[in-house]
Each structure stands twice: as C-alpha cells, then as structure tokens.
Amino acid sequence: MPSKFRVAAQMFGFREFTKTAADAAKAMKRVKKIGYDYAQISGFGPIPAADIRALCLDAGVTPIGAHIGLPQFRENWKKVVADCKDLGISYVAIPWLDAKQQKSLADWKKLFREFEGYAKRFAAEGITVQYHNHDFEFRQYGVKRGAGGKALLDMLYEGTTALQAELDLGWVARGGCNPVNWVRKVAGRMDQVHFKDWCPMEPTEKDPNRNWGFRAIGQGSLDWPEILKACKKAGVRDFIVEQDSCPVTGDPFLEYGISRKYLATLGL
C-alpha cells in the first residue's frame, strides 16, 4: 500500500550538478538511485521549467514544489505561475530575503502584506505560496524592560491567512527555538516541511572559525522521532530533505542518501 507521505530531495544541495540540462539529467538519475522519488526544484541553471520537469520524470523523480526568489515574483509574478504549471507543481516557496529588504520591523510588515498578496493571487491559479525561514526570522521585537517580545515569524503567520508555512526545522533550531513547538504553532497551514540537521563541529585549518555545520538527517542534534510525530499530527504531507552544504564529506549524494535511509527507519 503506497504511503500517504512523500519524501523529497531539495535540489539546492545539488546545485553544482544542475547547471546544464545534460548535467541535471545525470544528477536526477543519481537522486533517484539514492532513494528519492520526489524533488523540490531549486538551484538549476538557466533551463526552461518544462525541460526540468521532463528530465526529472525521465529519471523517475516527480517535482512536488519549487523555491523561487522574491525578485522573480516582483519582476513578473505571472511568469512564476507559468513556470510552476510547466513544472507540474502546486507549491512554491519564497526561500530567502536579502538583508537590505528587512532592515526594520516596518520593512517586515510591508513584506507580510506583499507575501499575502501573492498567496491570494496564486491560490486563484491553484498554487499555494509558502514562506521558507532561516534563523533571522526569530529576532525578537517589542521587548520592554527585559520582558515580552515577539519573533518576526510569529508576526508573519499572525498577520497572514493565505500564506502557508514551509518551516525549515534546522534553521528553527539554529534560531534558538524548539522545532516541535514551531510545528505545533503552524499546524493546519503547513503541507510541506524542510528536514535539515546540524551539530557543533570543531574548527579546521581551512575554516578556523567554524563552530557548527550541516549534517545528514539523524547525524546531527535534532530529535527526529519527536519532530516526525509532531509533523504528522500537524497535517504535514511532504517531507523535504535539504542540506545546504556537506562539510564532512563534500558529497551531497552520499549525505542525502544517509538521510533517506535514516528516514526509512522512521517509517517514511
């Protein structure tokens, strides 16, 4: 009986292998070989969306979402819709904000309204818009005399209704917050989630300032059995593995493969 859950590879981790269509086709076959039947599209070179879908399907991997930068929404949101349709996906996430766009709380409030506007427009096209966090969204505003305060991400989801969450749980933890608590906060408005792990790491001669690094799922510091339990209860359907870099091995295929095998032990 097929699982009601899907496990996908976030392709940003393979960005060095997807710069051309020929290389991307090879990469997708390797992604399939290490156990992924689904992918979230990101980090590809200048390849038309329809061609990306074709090379994914040829490898036996189905696109289920994409990360598309805010500048592209602003330049031509209708083209973003068209690209999503060419990819055959119904989810698209705003993945990153440049520091220049979020200097103050006033900037953020404008962004909240902008995101909600896109979410409503895209919903009319059958596409769900999501927001993908990093750690800076956990900055506290409104602290008075050492008490109170609220995180930007709390404000974002309190101030929007159409926008969906796509929590990146590794960045939630890096932001000093409990991933399980945050999954509970957005229950019912997060169909897809990012699984990402990390742990403290020793400095090296090459990187003497290093004190942490990304790891394969199950090899870092996050409590994945408890996180998975919370995600299922919250209504998550798609579990997307992302590893921004691989400081231990330098090999994303190896480490994404370790992640996939570990998630299989948890029933995914």
Structural domains present in the chain: 6-265 (3.20.20.150)
- Whole-angstrom CA distances from 226 to 114, 146, 183, 264 are 34, 32, 11, 15
Determine what percent of the chain is predicted with pLDDT higher than 70.
Answer: 99
| Beta carbons of 26 and 17 less than 8 angstroms apart | yes
| Beta carbons of 82 and 56 less than 8 angstroms apart | no
> Average pLDDT of 229-258?
98
How far apart CA 204 and CA 207 sit, in angstroms, is: 5
pLDDT score for 1: 45
- Whole-angstrom CA distances from 170 to 36, 86, 194 are 20, 30, 8
- Note the Cα 238 to chain centre separation in Å: 11
Q: Please tell me the pTM assigned to this model.
A: 0.96
* pLDDT tens string 173-200: 999 999 999 999 999 999 999 999 999 9
Of 3-7, 70-74, 135-139, the range with the lowest mean pLDDT is 3-7
In three state form, how does the secondary structure of the chain look?
CCCCCEEEEEHHHHHHHCCCHHHHHHHHHHHHHCCCCEEEECCCCCCCHHHHHHHHHHCCCEEEEEECCHHHHHHHHHHHHHHHHHHCCCEEEECCCCHHHCCCHHHHHHHHHHHHHHHHHHHCCCCEEEEECCCHHHCEECCECCECCEEHHHHHHHCCCCCEEECEHHHHHHCCCCHHHHHHHCCCCCCEEEECEEEECCCCCCCCCCCEEEECCCCCCCCHHHHHHHHHHHCCCEEEECCCCCCCCCCHHHHHHHHHHHHHHCCC
pLDDT score for 2: 55
* The pairing of beta strand 140-141 with beta strand 150-151: antiparallel
* pLDDT tens string 100-151: 878 889 999 999 999 999 999 999 999 999 999 999 999 999 999 999 999 9
**pLDDT at position 168 over 90:** yes
How far apart CA 70 and CA 94 sit, in angstroms, is: 6
